[in-house]
Amino acid sequence: MTAISADILTKVIKKRRSDTHKGDYGRVLLIGGCENYGGAIIMSAEGALNSGAGLVAVATHSLNLSALHARDPEVMYIDWRDHDLPALIKKIDVIVCGPGLGFSNFAQELMQVLCANLTEKQTLVLDASSLDLIAKQHSLIPQHIGKIILTPHQMEWQRLSQLKIAFQTDSANLTALNELFPQQNAILVLKSNHTHVYCADGAVYVNPLGNPGMATGGMGDTLAGIIGGFCAQFGNGLEPILAAVYLHSLAGDRIAQTDYVVRPTKVSALLPQIMKKYAG
């Protein structure tokens, strides 16, 4: 097991050249936000936006449009029932699916649409509801995708892997990951007080940062968005994922120095300042 350190930030985050444009920093599509959980997809979108993704779009319930554009006018919107969604999916570099998606029949249909339109050049971040839907229906596991990043908390991983939390050892988690995704194109970001990152080749990394103030609704949604933003900008290899995990907790720890509770939206707001400091 290897501890993630601050060195990963200077290694991954690069100073931006003057002759670049938004298309150079990746396109991220986030899918989620049913009637009751619109905040989840908005917080995830803020994670992608504030971590530097060049173009961010959200496919969500129409009820969330006003709140999304009032808070983040930089984010594009598409109604998740729009017939143009399959075409949009094919044009995107990184897709984050699951925050606030819910468990309705329509949510299952959305997952089917997503799986049918993915390409092997894309990266897919699966979070929250999407993982529970896959746990109930393994046919929703994407088959044609370049890289899959799973971001469950321990209970979601229990439902997906059938490993009870007490038995979620490193070796058991790696075995379950490779059984679920035998193509070995998946990385597991198992969220906990010290998040572990598991690679199909057997490597395990632990995040030494984090604090109990971050035990707040929406924190995981924000992390999924940050991972999406980093993969869009810096590639879908392991290092950008590790950097996103570390940065998320680093921001949380800085806020916890003065705040009893660490709000996910404050984590996102702090990201550009920290990234500026570590840009190599």
Distance between CA atoms of 113 and 78, rounded to whole angstroms? 15
Distance between CA atoms of 47 and 45, rounded to whole angstroms? 5
Write 73-77 long-range contacts (CB < 8 A, 24+).
74/49, 75/45, 75/49
User: What are the structural domains, with CATH classification, of the chain?
Assistant: 2-278 (3.40.1190.20)
Query: What pLDDT is recorded for position 187?
Result: 98
Distance between CA atoms of 106 and 111, rounded to whole angstroms? 9
Distance between CA atoms of 218 and 118, rounded to whole angstroms? 26
Query: Which residues contact residue 105 at a Cβ distance below 8 angstroms, ignoring those fewer than 6 apart?
Result: none
Distance between CA atoms of 14 and 234, rounded to whole angstroms? 8
Asked whether 12 and 190 are in contact (CB, 8 A), the reply is no
pLDDT < 70 stretches in the chain: none
Distance between CA atoms of 30 and 7, rounded to whole angstroms? 29
Q: What angle do CA 232, 184, 174 make, to 5 degrees?
A: 105
pLDDT tens column, 22-66: 999 999 999 999 999 999 999 999 999 999 999 999 999 999 999
Q: 3-state DSSP call for residue 107?
A: helix
Query: What pLDDT is recorded for position 280?
Result: 76
pTM of the model: 0.98
